[in-house]
């Protein structure tokens, strides 16, 4: 805990020198100083505590300051924090790669590590392009993406984000022009009518000679709109991609490691992609690490191509501390009845958020796995709602029209109740 004057000094320096995400440098809005965190609670500089409904952007599945995770970090630190990955290897990367290949579909046998989700997406896009290059079809370079999708903030990733929420107009010609198709409308619980795939069928039949891959977030579209859709869409899409010889990339950076009730969202559909991107909760929110997995066919084709290699290699590739942390996080998750935990959280989010459905301000309330979403009719002003959430002892950071929760899996029932009650209460107090 710090004194109010120390807090003020910290915030003044923050304001003078720091650029926060998606924020104005000169007028960043409300910024809340955190001094430590424990379990599901963020400890603020003034001594208050917030129940964290965001799991630090969906990563901190085990909560904060977890003894098992802390031990894993310390143990790896004693061996080495980092070593370059070019020409060298180390036990943590090898073990993690094996775990990821074991947990994901059998056809995914190769792991390329990188340092953030956006880069894992860049890697997948580059692999897709290099694959067709090596196959003697260099014209197959473009991507197909869904509207309302989100894949990260680097240029390649941005080019496949929703063109409107991703503000493509700001970047003009700098962004690669990709193909977009409507996001599926079919409900999670329902089959997906063939007509949902009319647009993409038409697109692939006309342009498959220019298309390297389709990229999408399976079952849950996250930061592009928190939308849930039918796994049946993925089965039909896989068949289409096979028919038109186009690769299929699943971005499970948000959905991976249990969030939707399955370890990976692709399990809802039983579909195997050609490339799979992982990140976010891969290290339980402890460290930045991402991975792109691909099939042996892709790996061997790319390796047999003109370059004889995949042309990418981040400085911190396969960082030992991050890999060791990821191993600990995955083992910790799998050592517990996590499916039951996610189911309980889902039930509690559903019950807790249900009263919001009757509010004038709300257009829909939906839940899936450990994700709870209140979609409003109007966009939310963070400057207005952030203090309202903090007053109620919770941390919730809405975007656009979406007030949502993705709690750490360790959140207990009474804290979920506090969190959801605060969300409903804050929404009820907004203008309509
Ligand atoms: C967060 C996210 C990314 C980008 O990951 P970063 O680590 O922020 O670069 C990509 N795809 C999806 C689906 C995400 O949720």
Please give the residue range of the domain that contains residue 423. 32-65+337-429
Same domain, 234 and 115: yes
* CA–CA separation, 289 and 294 (whole Å): 17
Report which ligand 1 atom has the smallest distance to the Cα of 121.
10
**What sections of 80-230 are H helices per DSSP?**
91-103, 117-134, 155-159, 198-207
- For ligand 1, the distance from its centroid to the CA atom of residue 350, given in whole angstroms, is 25
Pocket test for ligand 1, best of 152, 273, 288, 397 (most atoms within 8 A of CB): 152
Q: Encode pLDDT of 215-227 as tens digits.
A: 999 999 999 999 9
Q: How many domains does the chain have?
A: 2
Report which ligand 1 atom has the smallest distance to the Cα of 154.
9
| Mean pLDDT, residues 118-139 taken together | 98
Report which ligand 1 atom has the smallest distance to the Cα of 116.
7
10 vs 116, higher pLDDT: 116
Q: Could you tell me if the CB of 258 is within 6 A of ligand 1?
A: no
Whether residue 255 is annotated as binding a ligand: the answer is: no
Same domain, 376 and 315: no
Same domain, 313 and 345: no
Among 115, 103, 116, 127, smallest CA distance to 275 is for: 127
Instruction: Name residue 277's beta-bridge partners.
Output: 251, 292
| Mean pLDDT, residues 123-146 taken together | 98
Same domain, 306 and 355: no
- Indicate whether 4 belongs to any domain: no
Same domain, 371 and 306: no
CB of 278 within 8 A of CB of 258?
no
Same domain, 349 and 319: no
Q: Encode pLDDT of 232-290 as tens digits.
A: 999 999 999 999 999 999 999 999 999 999 999 999 999 999 999 999 999 999 999 99
pLDDT score at 1? 53
Whether residue 163 is annotated as binding a ligand: the answer is: no
Reported as a pLDDT band with limits 50, 70 and 90, residue 4 is confident
pTM: 0.98
Q: Could you tell me if the CB of 223 is within 6 A of ligand 1?
A: yes
Whether residue 313 is annotated as binding a ligand: the answer is: yes
Reported as a pLDDT band with limits 50, 70 and 90, residue 373 is very high
Among 171-175, 271-275, 328-332, 344-348, name the one with the lowest average pLDDT: 171-175
Give DSSP secondary structure letters for 48-97.
-EEEESSHHHHT-TT-BS-HHHHHHHHHHHHH-S----SS---HHHHHHH
Q: Is the pLDDT of residue 6 over 90?
A: no
User: Last residue of some domain: 335, 368, 384?
Assistant: 335
Q: Encode pLDDT of 46-85 as tens digits.
A: 899 999 999 999 999 999 999 999 999 999 999 999 999 9
Give the percent of the chain with pLDDT over 90: 95
Same domain, 46 and 97: no
Same domain, 82 and 148: yes
* CA–CA separation, 392 and 330 (whole Å): 33
Among 338, 329, 409, smallest CA distance to 92 is for: 329
- For ligand 1, the distance from its centroid to the CA atom of residue 277, given in whole angstroms, is 9
């Amino acid at each position: 805990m710090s004194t109010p004057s120390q807090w003020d000094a910290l915030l003044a320096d923050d304001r003078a020198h720091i650029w926060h995400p998606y924020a104005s440098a000169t007028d960043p809005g409300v910024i809340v100083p955190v001094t430590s965190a424990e379990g599901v609670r963020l400890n603020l500089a003034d001594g208050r505590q917030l129940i964290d409904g965001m799991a630090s952007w969906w990563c901190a599945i085990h909560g904060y300051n977890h003894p098992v995770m802390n031990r894993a970090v310390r143990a790896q630190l004693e061996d080495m924090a980092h070593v370059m990955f070019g020409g060298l290897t180390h036990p943590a990367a090898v073990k993690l790669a094996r775990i990821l290949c074991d947990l994901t579909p059998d056809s995914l046998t190769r792991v390329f590590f990188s340092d953030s989700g956006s880069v894992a997406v860049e890697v997948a896009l580059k692999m897709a392009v290099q694959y067709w290059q090596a196959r003697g079809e260099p014209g197959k370079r473009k991507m197909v993406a869904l509207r309302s999708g989100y894949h990260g903030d680097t240029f390649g990733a941005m080019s496949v984000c929703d063109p409107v929420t991703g503000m493509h107009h700001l970047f003009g010609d700098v962004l690669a022009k990709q193909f977009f198709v409507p996001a599926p409308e079919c409900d999670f619980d329902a089959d997906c009518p063939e007509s949902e795939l009319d647009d993409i069928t038409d697109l692939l039949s006309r342009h498959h000679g220019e298309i390297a891959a389709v990229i999408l977030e399976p079952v849950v579209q996250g930061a592009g709109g928190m939308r849930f859709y039918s796994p049946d869409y993925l089965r039909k899409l896989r068949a289409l991609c096979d028919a038109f010889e186009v690769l299929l990339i699943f971005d499970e950076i948000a959905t991976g490691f249990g969030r939707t009730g399955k370890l990976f969202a692709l399990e809802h559909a039983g579909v195997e992609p050609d490339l799979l991107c992982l990140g976010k909760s891969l290290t339980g929110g402890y460290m930045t690490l991402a991975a792109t997995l691909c099939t042996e066919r892709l790996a061997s084709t790319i390796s047999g191509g003109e370059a004889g290699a995949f042309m990418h290699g981040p400085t911190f590739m396969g960082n030992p501390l991050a890999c060791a942390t990821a191993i600990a996080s995955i083992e910790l998750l799998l050592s517990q009845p996590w499916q039951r935990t996610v189911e309980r959280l889902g039930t509690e989010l559903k019950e807790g958020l249900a009263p919001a459905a009757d509010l004038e301000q709300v257009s829909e309330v939906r839940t899936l796995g450990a994700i709870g979403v209140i979609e409003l009719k109007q966009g939310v002003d963070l400057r207005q709602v952030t203090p309202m959430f903090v007053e109620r002892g919770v941390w919730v950071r809405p975007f656009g029209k979406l007030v949502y929760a993705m709690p750490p899996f360790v959140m207990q029932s009474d804290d979920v109740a506090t969190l959801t009650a605060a969300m409903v209460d804050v929404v009820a107090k907004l203008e309509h």
